[in-house]
Structures are given as C-alpha cells and as structure tokens.
Amino acid sequence: MKAILYICTEAAPGLVAYATGILLSAAASGKVAVYALTVDDEKVSYRPYLKAFPPDHIHFLRMPEKKTCKIVQKLYKTTVLREAKKMCAAHHIDFIHLLTVDYTCATIFRRLKKIRPVYYTVHDVTPHEKAYTGMKDYFFSTYIKWGVKRMMQQADYVVTNSKSQYQHLKAIVPYKNICFQLFPPLITATILTGDQTCPELQGIDRYVLFFGNIDKYKGIEYLHEAFINNRQLLDYRLVIAGKGPVYFPHTGDPRVVFINRHIADEEIKSLYTRASCVVYPYISATQSGVLTIAYKFNTPALVSDIPFFREVSDEKTCLFFRRADIADLSDKLETLLLHTDTAAMKAAQKKYFENNYAEKAVSASVSSIYHTF
C-alpha cells in the first residue's frame, strides 16, 4: 500500500472543502495510507474536518499572526519543508501530493522533490479574469501565477480534476505524467447537517442565489444586470452571498441583498434549500465543485454554457444560458423560475449526484493515480 503525504497550505473555504474531500476519499478507498500536513489561517481551520484521522497521521500548522513572519512564510515556507521531511522519514512516505494551489511552496519545491516524488494538482493552467484592487493585489496575483507555473513545470506528476484541462495539459506539457481525478463533492459533514439561516435573510423566502467568493471570472455583474432589469421577477430577491470586493456598479436596488462575508458551513444548507434557484454566471472556469452543492440540495440551477459546466452537467440537471449574454440570462432565469418543471430537474440532479459523486467512484478515482506509473 502506497503512503501519501498530502500538503495543504491554503485555508480558503472552498479549498479546505476540496482538500478534505480528497483526503477522505483516498482514505475510504483502502488502497493508500493517508497522511496530511495542513496550514490553518486565523479564520479557517482544517481541524474540524479531519477528526477521523489518527493524530499521528495529521500535522496541523498555523500561519503566523505577526505580519513580517507571515510575509516570510509566504515567500519561503520553511516550516512546511521541515515537517514534510520529518513525516516522510517517520511514516515511510512514497509520494508527496500538493493539493491546494500551494503557490507558497514554489520556492521550496525542488527541495521537496529531493525528499520524495511530488504530485501537484493544477487548479487553473490558464489564470482566470480578475479585477485588481490595487498594486499590492496585482503583484500578489503575479506571484501566485509564477508559483503555479513553476511547480507545474517541476512536478513529477501533474493532476487535474477537469477532463478538458487534462487534454490541454497533455498538449502543452506532453513530456509530463498527467493524471485525472474526479472532483470530490464540496459537501462537508458540517454543511450536510448545518441548520443555521443567514440573519440577512430573515423574512426573505423567494430569492435567486449566487454563492461563492466574489471574483470577476464568475460573471456576477451579468446576473445582477439581468435580474434588476427583468420586470417579471419583481416578487423575487437576488442574494449574492460571498466575500470579496464588489467590482461592478450596483445601485442599491432593495431587491438585491449582498451578504458580503465569509459564509459559515452551518449556513450553506439553508442558503441552498430555501433558494428558488441558484445561478452560476461564470465567464470561465477550469474546475469547480459549485454544482455538487446545488445537486446535493436539489436547488434548480441556471449556469453559463462554458465548457467545464457542460462537462459536469447535462440538459436535465440544469438550464444553460449563453456565456456573458445578459439578455439570454434574463430570459432563461424567467423560464426557470416561472415556466420550468423543477421537480423533474431535482430528480435528475439527485440521480446525477449518485452516479458521478458517490463515495465509491470518487475514492477509486482518487487512489488510482498512485498506481498508474
């Protein structure tokens, strides 16, 4: 049985759900021994999600609170390198696998490779569209792009959860060992049993939902404009739930509710089950697990027709609109809310989730890549 040390240095909510999904799926396969080295930040921790693992299999680090120390760790992650060496020696690790973008490991990557062969999961070969908030944000984003490119080029094995990105990688780095893994459902145990309602939604029960961090590539401005200008939807609210700078003009329409903060896992189930529908107006996406949440909670969905969404859905599980087309988005939103048999869509979502995101299928896919080469 191969022993894998997973390294997870980013603690953004989506990445935590993704990484813990991979770890739990790998462990459930029974075909690999799972060890992990994680880094918490001041607000988000891996600890609540990895309680099932033996204590000696997991080492939790924490990002330092002091600003200068934090900057040093962003540039050269000595603590991760030191603990990786210890864990590889103590547990006879066969492979190291970096899961969560892990751009801060770029400067120690060659040294990690000297310890064990390294798998690197690439989330976005082509960077997404982004609205920069200033020079600091621009340079930070440039640093991330540099780190991802460097590690992709140096990794022994490159992993993706997107079939289209898999083909792209085979074309641009044909000399690499490229692996495909199924994307794990982003449903933590806390999300599944969560019973809290966002206080901002008290008294609101007919709403269109966008959920996720606010980023330019997610196309939220198209949804915003389509909604506020559609006079057939006056009985609905638009709820934009997620943290991030609102980069597009918004006029303070009382029908639009911004929950511009971190959404706790305990609030996500209610957010989806109470929504009339969820909209993902992305203008680009390489791989994403947002549809797994909609399908799990049977929330009627309207999504842009970008390749990745076409890859992980079909005409029965959601309704598609033309990417960045406000008029088509508005028409399809009206169709979904007022003229669609959502019971049939929900049944199709349930079947799709069972067929594509069941634990057995994901576990087999996650564990298989360590026996491929």
Confidence of residue 71 (pLDDT cuts 50, 70, 90): low
CATH class held by domain 189-356: alpha beta
- CA-closest candidate to residue 214, choices 185, 248, 257, 243: 243
| Mean pLDDT, range 259-272, rounded to an integer | 95
Q: Mind listing the pLDDT tens digit for each residue in 133-150?
A: 788 888 888 888 999 999
| Mean pLDDT, range 233-262, rounded to an integer | 93
> How far is residue 309's CA from residue 341's CA, in Å, rounded to a whole number?
21
Look at residue 312 and tell me whether its pLDDT is greater than 60: yes
Look at residue 13 and tell me whether its pLDDT is greater than 90: no
Look at residue 73 and tell me whether its pLDDT is greater than 70: no
**In percent, how much of the chain has pLDDT > 70?**
96
Q: Mind listing the pLDDT tens digit for each residue in 204-226?
A: 989 999 999 999 999 999 999 99
C-alpha distance from residue 109 to each of 7, 12, 15, 95, 127 (Å): 12, 21, 20, 14, 21
Look at residue 68 and tell me whether its pLDDT is greater than 80: no
Q: Which residue has the higher pLDDT, 263 or 77?
A: 263
| Strand extents, DSSP E, 246-341 | 256-259, 277-280, 301-304, 319-321
Q: Are 49 and 22 in contact (CB under 8 A)?
A: no
Look at residue 76 and tell me whether its pLDDT is greater than 70: no
Q: Are 260 and 245 in contact (CB under 8 A)?
A: no
- Every domain of the chain and the residues it spans: 2-184+358-371, 189-356
Confidence of residue 372 (pLDDT cuts 50, 70, 90): low
So what's the pLDDT on residue 126? 79
Global pTM reads 0.88
Confidence of residue 72 (pLDDT cuts 50, 70, 90): low
Angle at which helices 220-228 and 326-339 cross, to 10°: 60
> How far is residue 319's CA from residue 341's CA, in Å, rounded to a whole number?
11
| Mean pLDDT, range 138-167, rounded to an integer | 90
> How far is residue 175's CA from residue 182's CA, in Å, rounded to a whole number?
22
So what's the pLDDT on residue 320? 95
| Mean pLDDT, range 298-324, rounded to an integer | 91
Q: Which residue has the higher pLDDT, 311 or 263?
A: 263
Work out the burial of residue 36: count CB atoms within 10 Å of its CB; fewer than 13 is exposed, 13-18 middle, 19 or more buried.
buried
Give strand pairing partners of 160.
Answer: 180
| Mean pLDDT, range 22-45, rounded to an integer | 92
| Mean pLDDT, range 161-190, rounded to an integer | 89
> How far is residue 353's CA from residue 366's CA, in Å, rounded to a whole number?
17
So what's the pLDDT on residue 361? 84
| Mean pLDDT, range 8-32, rounded to an integer | 92
So what's the pLDDT on residue 69? 61
Residue-wise DSSP of 205-217 = -SEEEEES---GG
**In percent, how much of the chain has pLDDT > 90?**
67
CATH class held by domain 2-184+358-371: alpha beta
| Mean pLDDT, range 49-77, rounded to an integer | 78
Confidence of residue 14 (pLDDT cuts 50, 70, 90): confident
Look at residue 19 and tell me whether its pLDDT is greater than 80: yes
Give strand pairing partners of 210.
Answer: 240
Token pair for residue 248?
């597009």
So what's the pLDDT on residue 132? 76
Q: Mind listing the pLDDT tens digit for each residue in 340-356?
A: 889 999 999 999 998 88
* 299 sits in which H/E element: none
- Sign (positive/negative) of CA torsion 15, 21, 23, 26? negative
What residues contact residue 71 under an 8 Å CB cut-off, 6+ apart?
none
> How far is residue 54's CA from residue 303's CA, in Å, rounded to a whole number?
40
| Mean pLDDT, range 291-306, rounded to an integer | 94
Q: Mind listing the pLDDT tens digit for each residue in 359-369?
A: 888 898 999 99
C-alpha distance from residue 129 to each of 4, 29, 78, 141 (Å): 34, 36, 31, 11
